[in-house]
């Protein structure tokens, strides 16, 4: 049957849009994706929609039908929730649907609205992705949880806040010319080091922002592309998903993320490639330490070696494996339910050559996306390849 193809993608600007509803933002991203694909709404046979906190931020559940209605599509529609990995899982389900032959054309994406809430409400809402019984009730927030992971990493492997600052600097620089990014400005190492603490050793520039936005992608079968004379160079050749215990106290490791390892292993086996074949990556850097954990757990770097990757230049645009050329969650933004689909959109544009940073990966043929939920209790990894 061949591999499903990413026929078109769409993004809204990521940032503060408290006046915009998720259905409004998803309509913008979805219709952009359909136009980019050259696919008519009548051909869409399924809608897969990622969203995390709609019940809290908009008093709205049952968002699948709303997502289809926003695009003017009459097809089965499903809302998928997996915390910060919501639309990553939605992408996986869309891929499986097309691969199985059930559908020839589907649309997948997600949206999140958070800036209409206050800081306390947003923090409480995001904490729903942690273990309420054993973490939230004793005061653990996600900055605190990732700070524990960073401290454990430094103790086991070494590293410093300056190493993390190099990651923040890189991702901010990558986002400068990204029209969809929340933070389109550079920072230097001192800016990151001198920023106020969020949860030691993590400071302000180690953390992604609170973001509103939406993303979408049209996925079609190879047969549909051929039958409709569509030139679609990017295909999804691998997909994998992994899970772990929800609470950090129940994990075997604080310095590794087995859910990401399992998801990557499955995706690499599916695509018949290995980590050494990867040319470019978009990974879930909700905090700077999360980029390190992602790259190591997927086998891109050995454990203990990823902390210095940005400082060495390995993950810079000119490096051996550019990471987060979009700016990542750190600078592009993290509208939780939209992030996984946004990574697919960014990687598709990078590989097909119409991304603002495509010049750095003009010879790339294999890209991966890594989308994680909570403290990496859920992970989805996708392998995208481009026809040469």
- Known catalytic residues? 84, 334
CB 149 within 8 A of CB 289: yes
Between the alpha carbon of residue 209 and those of residues 26, 126, 184, 362, the distances in Å are 20, 12, 13, 30
Place of tokens 């869309």: 94
DSSP 106: E
Which is nearest to 371 in space by CA: 348, 347, 349, 341?
341
Backbone angles phi, psi at 227, to 5 degrees: -65, -30
Burial of residue 151 (CB within 10 Å: 0-12, 13-18, 19+) is middle
DSSP 336: G
Distance CA 20, CA 26 (A): 10
DSSP 35: H
Backbone angles phi, psi at 231, to 5 degrees: -90, 100
Which is nearest to 260 in space by CA: 40, 75, 84, 42?
84
CB 103 within 8 A of CB 46: yes
Which is nearest to 127 in space by CA: 182, 214, 56?
56
- CA angle in degrees (0–180, nearest 5) for 129-131-137: 115
Place of tokens 């992408």: 91
Distance of CA 93 to the CA centre of its chain: 15
């Amino acid at each position: 049957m061949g591999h499903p193809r990413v026929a078109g993608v769409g993004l809204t600007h990521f940032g503060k849009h408290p006046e915009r509803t998720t259905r409004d933002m998803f309509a913008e991203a979805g219709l952009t994706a359909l136009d980019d694909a050259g696919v008519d709404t009548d051909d869409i046979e399924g809608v897969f929609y990622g969203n995390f906190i709609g019940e809290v931020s908009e008093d709205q559940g049952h968002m699948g039908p709303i997502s289809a209605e926003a695009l003017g599509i009459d097809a089965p529609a499903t809302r998928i929730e997996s915390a910060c990995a919501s639309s990553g899982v939605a992408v996986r389900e869309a891929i499986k649907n097309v691969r199985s032959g059930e559908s020839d054309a589907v649309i997948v994406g997600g949206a999140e609205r958070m800036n209409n809430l206050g800081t306390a409400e947003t923090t409480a809402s995001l904490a729903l992705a942690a273990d309420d019984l054993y973490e939230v009730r004793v005061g653990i927030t996600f900055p605190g949880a990732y700070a524990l992971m960073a401290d454990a990493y430094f103790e086991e492997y070494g590293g410093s806040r300056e190493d993390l600052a190099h990651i923040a600097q890189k991702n901010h620089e990558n986002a400068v010319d990204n029209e969809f990014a929340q933070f389109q400005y550079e920072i230097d190492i001192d800016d990151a080091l001198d920023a106020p603490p969020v949860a030691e050793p993590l400071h302000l520039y180690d953390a992604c922002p609170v973001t509103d936005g939406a993303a979408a992608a049209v996925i079609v079968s190879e047969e549909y592309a051929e039958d409709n004379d569509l030139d679609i160079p990017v295909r999804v050749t691998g997909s994998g998903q992994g899970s772990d215990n929800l609470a950090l106290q129940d994990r075997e490791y604080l310095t590794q993320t087995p859910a990401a390892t399992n998801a990557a292993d499955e995706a690499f086996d599916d695509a018949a490639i290995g980590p050494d074949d990867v040319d470019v990556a978009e990974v879930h850097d909700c905090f700077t330490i999360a980029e390190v954990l992602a790259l190591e757990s997927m086998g891109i770097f050995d454990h203990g070696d990823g902390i210095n990757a940005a400082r060495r230049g390995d993950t810079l645009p000119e490096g051996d494996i550019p990471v987060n050329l979009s700016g990542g969650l750190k600078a592009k933004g993290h509208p939780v339910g939209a992030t996984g689909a946004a990574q697919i959109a960014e990687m598709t544009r990078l590989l097909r050559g119409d991304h603002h940073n495509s010049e750095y990966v003009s010879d790339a043929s294999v890209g991966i996306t890594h989308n994680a939920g909570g403290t990496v209790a859920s992970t989805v990894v996708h392998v995208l390849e481009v026809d040469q």
